[in-house]
Amino acid sequence: MNSMCPQLFGLSPVIRGRKPRTSGLTSIIDRGIPVSELRGLMENAGEYIDLCKFGWCTWLLMPERLVKSKIEVCEEFDVKVLPGGSSIEAAFIRGKAEEFLRFVKELGFTSIEISSGIANISIEEKLRLVRLAKDLDFCPVITEVGRKDPKEDLALPLNERIRLMKLELEAGADYVVVEARESGKGIGPYNAKGDVKESFVEAIVRDVPVEKIIWEAPLKSQQVWLIKRFGPNVNLGNVQVGDVIPLETLRLGLRGDTMLKFLLS
């Protein structure tokens, strides 16, 4: 798919690599949309989507044939597809994490997220799962640091969060997600209003390569802040399906929030 812009009239000077990209990733969250809607999304905006995560355990409620159909649609548009991290946590709680990894690989998932936001998964066990995922040829292997419960997440010291991120990358994770959930409020790098906690973000990027981080940023204001701070090729996750093209205009400086930042640079 070849879009008219930004080449049209040279409106945007921003360089956005073609897929498969290793930076500037846009990871969407699919909360159970029909195959037809997913195909429509990909035909309209697949050029700008790198990862499609089937949110938490939603995909487990669908017929297997439809899950496979959705995976095939994503593959057709060069979009990596992965199950939400909560599903592997559920499998871990039931003592079936390894079996789960092999099952989703056979089902057709090409990427995987290994999180520890709900279950009490030790870092040693999490790193073992990362290595197993690499051995099973999932690509990319993505981990997530942070807790789903806002109180538990707030209690996780920032230096410990950074330590875990570094360990997971060293173990072979291709990217690490900074937890912010779908709300983007009162958790991780955002305060109760959804504003960015700048000192939190800056502390992380002092020790963790920003190109290895996927920032969950479901709100436009968060996307704007991160793009202005780290540039158009920052990795962003938990993007809603209806926000893909609006986000890409922010990356390209083709929306008021970032236009002067990039078009006058």
- For the chain, what is the HEC assignment? CCCCCCCHHHCCCCCCCCCCCCCCCEEEEECCCCHHHHHHHHHHHHHHCCEEEECCCHHHHCCHHHHHHHHHHHHHCCCEEEECHHHHHHHHHCCCHHHHHHHHHHHCCCCEEEECCCCCCCHHHHHHHHHHHHHCCCCCEEEEECCCCHHHHHHCCHHHHHHHHHHHHHCCCCEEEECCCCCCCCECCECCCCCECHHHHHHHHHHCCHHHEEEECCCHHHHHHHHHHHCCCCCEEEECHHHHHHHHHHHHCCCHHHHHHHHCC
Average pLDDT, integer, range 150-174 = 97
What value does the mean pLDDT of the chain take?
A: 93
Report whether pLDDT(79) > 60: yes
Does residue 34 belong to any structural domain of this protein? yes
Does residue 14 belong to any structural domain of this protein? no
* Number of domains, the chain: 1
What is the pLDDT, as a whole number, of residue 1?
Answer: 45
What is the pLDDT, as a whole number, of residue 5?
Answer: 56
Average pLDDT, integer, range 174-186 = 93
> Tens of pLDDT along 95-127?
999 999 999 999 999 999 999 999 999 999 999
Average pLDDT, integer, range 133-141 = 98
Asked whether the beta carbons of 262 and 208 are under 8 A apart, the reply is no
Does residue 6 belong to any structural domain of this protein? no
Token code pair at residue 166: 């570094």
Burial 225-245 (b: 16+ CB within 10 A, else e): bbbeebebbbbbbbbbbebbe
Work out the angle at residue 238's Cα, subtended by the Cα atoms of residues 234 and 244, and round it to the nearest 5 degrees. 70
Does residue 8 belong to any structural domain of this protein? no
Does residue 13 belong to any structural domain of this protein? no
Report whether pLDDT(222) > 80: yes
What is the pLDDT, as a whole number, of residue 61?
Answer: 80
Asked whether the beta carbons of 53 and 30 are under 8 A apart, the reply is yes
Strand 141-145 relative to strand 175-178, pairing: parallel
Average pLDDT, integer, range 136-160 = 96
Does residue 15 belong to any structural domain of this protein? no
Does residue 79 belong to any structural domain of this protein? yes
Asked whether the beta carbons of 22 and 232 are under 8 A apart, the reply is no
- CATH number where 175 lies: 3.20.20.70
pTM of the model: 0.94
Report whether pLDDT(158) > 50: yes
Nearest to 227 by CA among 199, 203, 193, 256: 256
Residue span of the structural domain in which 258 resides: 21-263
Does residue 7 belong to any structural domain of this protein? no
> Tens of pLDDT along 6-49?
555 667 778 888 899 999 999 999 998 999 999 999 999 999 99
Asked whether the beta carbons of 51 and 28 are under 8 A apart, the reply is yes
Q: Which is higher by pLDDT, 109 or 184?
A: 109
What is the pLDDT, as a whole number, of residue 263?
Answer: 80
